[in-house]
Structure 1
Amino acid sequence: MLDVQDNPAPEVHDDPIAVDPRQFAAKVNSWLPHDIMLTDAWFPLAHSFAVAKKPIRRAVYSHPYFIWRKPDGSVVAAETHPNDQLAATKSEYTDEAGHYPVIEKYGYVWGWLGKPENAAPEHIPSIPYLPEDGGLPLHMLGTVRFDCCAPLSLENLIDLTHADFIHADVVGDEKMDKETVEVFHDSETITMVRTCVNKSVAPIMKIFGGVRDDVQQVRQVIRIYLRSHAAIAYGRFTPGDNVQLFHPCVPETRDRTRLDYAMNTSNVKKTNLFRYIMPKASYKVSRQDSSMTSPQSPRYMRPEKRKDLHSPLDEAGQKYRVLMLALAERQARGDFTYRDNVSSDCSDIIGYEKA
């Protein structure tokens, strides 16, 4: 007879969402976003155009990344400045030379934080509407910062309905005939799809996009890659133009987030001002978001008597919390494996139609 250890049962991967409602609620309300640190992940450290021969400094969870290009154009990322040889170090996240694994894709330099031997290209998120070799014009790229932790910023983003109230002067108000919301998830991603019938036209599309109708048919998608703290936002507006935004929230510190965004408006006619104005709207939208998240952030860093209340409309945000906590708990047990393929093409999920 075989010993049970010689013939173990297959590992069961439980879905942290599929639990008793009371357990689910307890997890949601145990949320401490500043305490979450996820590793074995690629982070988009900088736009490719920003990396040259002179080193620039970035950080992930306060771990320093000095990034520069060698004479042949390849990218290097190290824990210490290349001129500071006496301070050169090797940590659990770097190789013998103190270098991090790096990859260039989608117009970004991605740095790996985790065990170097686990770094693999298939763990880079799928962003179907960004050219893999980069090359977007500079007016479609930008950088903003949030004075809050990255998970809190993304929790705000995953609720697409917030835009009707906080960003109404840019993306339109809450007036519509009908709205449906769907939420999908696996162990590495969460996706919210919002469909609106006869929604008020976004002011920016009326003013700069040439939309003359009073209402639009709208399909909006937010998909978050949990480990990389990165989101893709895709919107189809009829009449109007598609909005194709990459929204990475790199956790520089426990209360500081860097967002090197890319909004691909190449699908918009060159004669249409929306092509040039919409990417820059991110600066206004980010200030509006920051006005909400920055005051919230410190409340999670100290005891708070008030309850962390939720509504039935907050399904995506609550599931995001539980999935992040589940990943953090898994990693605390020493399990850094990817159970789902984040690099698989998500075009069908977000409704992106390739040319």
Structure 2
Amino acid sequence: MLDVKDAAITPNSHGDDYVDPITADPREFAAKVNAWVPHDIVLKDAWFPLAHSFAVTKKPIRRAIYSQPYFLWREGDTAIAAEFHPSEGMTGTKSAYSDAVGRYPVIEKYGYAWCWFGNPANAAPEHIPSLPYLPEDGGLPMHMLGTVRFDCTAPLSLENLIDLTHADFLHADVVGDEKMDKETVEVFHDSETITMVRTCVNKSVAPIMKIFGGVKADVQQVRQVIRIYLRSHAAIAYGRFSPGDNVQLFHPCVPETRDRTRLDYAMNTSNVKKTNFFRYLMPKASYKVSRQDSFMTSPQSPRYMQPEKRKDLHSPLDEAGQKYRVLMLALAERQARGDFAYRDNVSADCSEIIGYDGK
């Protein structure tokens, strides 16, 4: 049984002229869903977690956001981000994304070097997303961190991710199959985020927990959450399994180009007992899961960039994905009109909505 609910998160700073693109006009909503071309979306004035903090050293490393080059290194303990390699200086034409000497705004938080993509004058710490289960000063052990890549556009990867039901089929050998007594799905949104909450009653135990996590039962009570910060192309995945352990994953999809995505993930399993092998194995399962995701999304990605006779069909279970599309398009349209302001506070603690209790 599947129950679907929806609610718009109470806005913090919407003006009277704001129109929710999801509830405004059903016909326009459907048109936008079917007009989706994820490669055409480039959102600016956002913080992107370009590298784990440990990767930023005195030796410069190169990253990119939509092919815009970012070089990162340290001067003392301070992380620096610039358009140009420090040994070369400003040898090319400076873009509008950096300051007078070619440097970008950069902030270290949650164990990442966050770099600003957009007008440097608009960079503000309060636009960094809330990640309640990652320590603000970083410091997670290396076995909880990793990097994978997808040969697909970042919005497509996130659209796949927000449909939590896909895991029962694509990742059944890790998180369990579709067998359960009841399932409830809720979708929440504001102008900057979308959140899907899935509650499962008596769901088949996740194989990785049964084999390596010490779970002896045949079924679990499960609450899974995906929350996407639209501009930063970043998601938090939070799962509560009883019996079992919580899964606390940060899943940032940095668009290196329009069709290649870098994922420097962090999975905080500090809540799991040190004697439980699940603590060390679960973060590494990301490599297997990412290959399974890439198997599905990589062939899809180029098809959006060429004429296609087949329709992009949907089912009622695609509710969260359809709303993700419309919210992304609405942001892109607003930015095309020159409006880059944040209408909702992405740094506000989201613990309550994802169900995080600090453990």
Task: State if a TM-score over 0.5 links the two structures.
Answer: yes
| Structure 1, unaligned runs of 5 or more | 1-9
Contact preservation (8 Å) 2:90, 2:102: no
1:90, distance to aligned residue in structure 2 (A) = 2.6
Quote the residue 2:83 is aligned against.
Answer: 79
- Give the residue type in structure 1 aligned to 2:257: T
- 1:238 maps to a residue whose letter is S
1:54 aligns with 2:70: no
Aligned length: 345
Question: Partner amino acid for 2:39?
Answer: H
Residue in structure 2 matching 1:24, options 26, 29, 39? 29
1:168 aligns with 2:166: no
Counterpart contact for 2:49–2:113, Cα < 8 Å: yes
* Residue of structure 2 equivalent to 1:345: 349
C-alpha separation between the residues in 1 aligned to 2:213 and 2:92? 52
2:45 to 40, 43, 63: 40
**Percent identity of the aligned residues?**
84
**Amino acid of the structure 1 residue aligned with 2:187:** V
1:96 aligns with 2:100: yes
**In 2, Cα distance between the equivalents of 1:338 and 1:331?**
11
Tell me how far 1:19 sits from its aligned partner: 2.5
Shift of 1:12: 1.2
Report the TM-score, using the length of structure 1 for normalisation: 0.96
Specify the alignment match of 1:7 in structure 2. Answer: none
Q: Secondary structure at the match of 1:85?
A: coil
Q: Which residue of 2 aligns with 1:237?
A: 241
Equivalence for 1:224: 228
Letter in 2 for 1:28: V
SS of 2:330's equivalent? Answer: helix
In structure 1, how many angstroms separate the alpha carbons of the residues matched to 2:90 and 2:282? 47
Alignment of 1:1-355 (within 5 A): 11-70=16-75, 72-85=76-89, 87=91, 89-355=93-359
Letter in 1 for 2:114: W
Superposed CA RMSD in Å reads 0.8
User: 2:82–2:103: 8 Å Cα contact kept in structure 1?
Assistant: yes
Q: Which amino acid aligns with 1:19?
A: A
Moved over 2 A (4+): none
1:5 corresponds in structure 2 to none
Distance in 1 (CA, whole Å) between partners of 2:51 and 2:215 is: 34
Q: Which amino acid aligns with 1:289?
A: D
Quote how far apart the aligned CAs of 1:354 are: 1.5
Higher RCO, 1 vs 2 (CA within 8 Å, ≥6 residues apart): 2
In the alignment, what sits opposite 2:11?
none
How far residue 88 of structure 1 moved from its aligned partner, in angstroms, is: 5.0
What do the CA deviations read for 1:233-289 (whole angstroms, capped 9, x no partner)? Answer: 000000000000000000000000000000000000000000000000000000000
Aligned counterparts of 1:209 and 1:13: Cα–Cα separation in 2: 47
The separation in 2 between residues aligned to 1:86 and 1:239, in whole angstroms, is 57
CA distance in 1, matches of 2:231, 2:249: 19
Distance 1:50 1:23 in 2: 45
Cα distance in structure 2, aligned partners of 1:85 and 1:222 = 41
The letter of the residue matching 2:145 is L
Q: Distance in 2 between matches of 1:99 and 1:256?
A: 24
Instruction: For residue 87 of structure 1, give the secondary structure of its aligned residue in structure 2.
Output: coil
2:250 aligned counterpart, secondary structure: strand
